[in-house]
Structure 1
Amino acid sequence: MASESIHPASAPSRRVVVAAVGAAGLALTLNACGSEDDPSPAASDAAGAGAGAGSALAKTSDIPEGGGKIFKDSGVVVTQPTAGEFKAFSSKCTHQGCAVSGITNGVITCPCHKSEFSVADGSVKKGPATQPLPEAKITVSGDSITLA
């Protein structure tokens, strides 16, 4: 009686499986980071996901003069560069699409690579980002700030 080896003809080799998993991981990483200074449509959509047009974001008293507040769910940063002047920008860094995380001393900061943006106009104060934060549309009526 001859012994038989069973070799599944359709089973991939270990090398093929490892290569496929590596390629899938690389694709996910590249997709998540985006390309440098060429933001994806989602990164340039200043309104982002979350609260839609016409949604109240905050009271004017919630936004500190010379600073601002990040609205993660809406994908925007609302700032008050000078008393009574309100601006809004995308909360996605134009370098690689990370969400900005803080506002200090008139500067919006990105935690991923330490890019800095002006609260007054979204311009780059410090790279590696080279593009300003895209402006978002807001409406200020009385003491209410609404995403337009």
Structure 2
Amino acid sequence: MQTTRREALRAMTMFAGTLFALPHLSGCSGDPSGDNLDDEEQGESEEELRRKKDGSTAAAKCTDNARDKTISFNHGHELRVSKEDVAAGAAQTYSIGGQADHSHSVTLTAAHFTKIRANKSVKITSTDAFGHSHVVTVSCG
């Protein structure tokens, strides 16, 4: 079977993308503290996990703007959520264009805002653009 030029270019692009992604994947794999998070803890902020571990019951409230804590495989995208949106808690869709030459959208639900107001992080997946999407971790401040 003969490979077409298009198939060869697609294979090279996939290979190059894999090479680009490997350092990012290996740098983010696992939990350096050795503490594996259960399903309930996955979205909790580091501060909240620390308070839980120390037995502290003081729960800070989000009074600042929310922002992207991390965007997977980021290449210039940004997310900013106003403190007014956090306080209102109504579902909203945001563009995460930033400095990138294209944009994605993410939607924060009322349940997401409830977690953000409680200083927990939430993870959401962006829309697809140019054959890729991003996992965005959003937290207060």
Superposition TM-score, scaled by structure 2 size: 0.32
More strand by share: 1
Larger Rg: 1
Q: Which has the higher helix share?
A: 2
Q: TM-score, normalised by structure 1?
A: 0.31
